[in-house]
Amino acid sequence: MIRRIAVLLVCVLVVSGLNGCGGGAHTLAVKAVAAGVPSLAPFFDEKQGLGQDAEVRSMPVQGSLQQGDTPGLYGGTKKPTVCDVAKLKRFLTDPANHQKAVAWSGVLGITTDRIPAYLDRLTPVLLRHDTLVQNHDYKKGKATPYNSLLQAGIAILVDEQGEPAAKCSCGNPLRPFKGDASRISVKFADGNKKWNGYEPSSVVAVRPAPRNMERLVLVDVGDPERGITRPVGTTGKRDTTFDTRQQHAVPNLAGMTFGAARQRLVSSGLAVGYGGSALPSDDAHVTASDPPAGTELRFGEYVTLSVAGGTSGGGTSTPSGPPTSSGPTLRPPTSTAPPSTSTPPPPTSSSPPPSSPTNEPPPQSSSPTTGSPSVVSHSPSTSAPVTSSAPATSAPVTSSAPVTASVTTGTPTAATVTATTTET
């Protein structure tokens, strides 16, 4: 009896150590959603071709928390559209689907009469990373939320701040992932078997850009040397193209606040990331960059910023000023054909300037599986935990910014913000 009690006590202590105060490895269950696999409880009949997923290999990242305006976060395609927004609008405004419309709009915090105008501001993109979201099925007349990991290549609609708003193929509404992206347990089941190329370190969660954008700057998922500039609220017919191989000089950021430096990089077509539990404070001061100022980088490559000081908590501030794009305002060649693999010829227009003054600081799934579902738990040491946030009111980001960051103790607090290349 004594031995049995001792064994039981050991088991209790082990469980407590895993999930309690002692350093907790508690994980959040997340359902995998593979590209091309129909939803079990969709808002919209997927057989009617509302959206088209693509075959995309998830891009590597160094951090799990990305802002919506990061150059290269999202992708595009040469196809006219990957999401039939007009068809979704007709469906949700049909009186016969009123109950679904009520549930759908409720998730997104709007009334049914505002659905058409809301949809007009959304933009279709393709995921370039396996992306965490709060997904919603339609069950018993209500929207049922659950955490899910959307595979790269899935077509979604994003809002003006670059946050996922709806899954194209089924119309299911999406909200920001609420949890720590580094502590998840992914369940591959119901036809969504573990896809080739899945890497826990490539998982991202999206947070809103600091301000609304006028256009998204995407990378062609079929030809990464071809960039796509897509005005917000359009589906592809007004796309223009640019050469992602074009070089952008790293600006001199020393002495600027992190918020201003980040916006400067994004406006230049370069990305910045970070590590840790929260964004560096917008008022933290940049002490150095790696690579240094003047270094030429391609579109979507990342810059590491060293910052010091600033208020605690980080995060983006309330958006102000006019909308911007998630990257440079690119003036593409007159031809929309993708660039050749040889040395790129000079474009017919000059190199695009930033979409907003550079000195303006910003506010800061596949074949069915059989048997028991597989579960993958991971806790990447370099990824940034994701905090929950309400639907943002600021601008979307178009490329993903992998990140790592280090924080030193003492005064001032120093953090390293890493920006890495988005390559296919």
Q: Output the pLDDT for position 328.
A: 59
23 or 203: which leads in pLDDT: 203
- pLDDT for position 97: 95
Dump pLDDT digits (tens) for 169-183. 999 999 999 888 888
pLDDT value at 253 more than 50? yes
Tell whether the model's pLDDT for residue 394 goes beyond 50.
Answer: no
Output 315 or 282, whichever has higher pLDDT: 282
Does the structure show a pLDDT above 60 at 339? no
Average pLDDT over residues 12-31: 56
Q: What percent of the chain has pLDDT over 70?
A: 65
| Of 306 and 367, the one with more pLDDT | 306
Whether residue 74 has pLDDT greater than 60: yes
The pLDDT score that the predictor gives to residue 246 is 93
Q: Output the pLDDT for position 25.
A: 58
Mean pLDDT of 182-199: 93
For the chain, the average pLDDT equals: 75
Q: Kindly report, residue by residue over 157-170, the tens digit of the pLDDT.
A: 999 999 999 999 99
**How high is the pLDDT of residue 65?**
81
Stretch 314-342: mean pLDDT: 45
pTM higher than the cut 0.75: no
Work out the angle at residue 341's Cα, subtended by the Cα atoms of residues 337 and 342, and round it to the nearest 5 degrees: 110
The per-residue pLDDT for 71 is 92
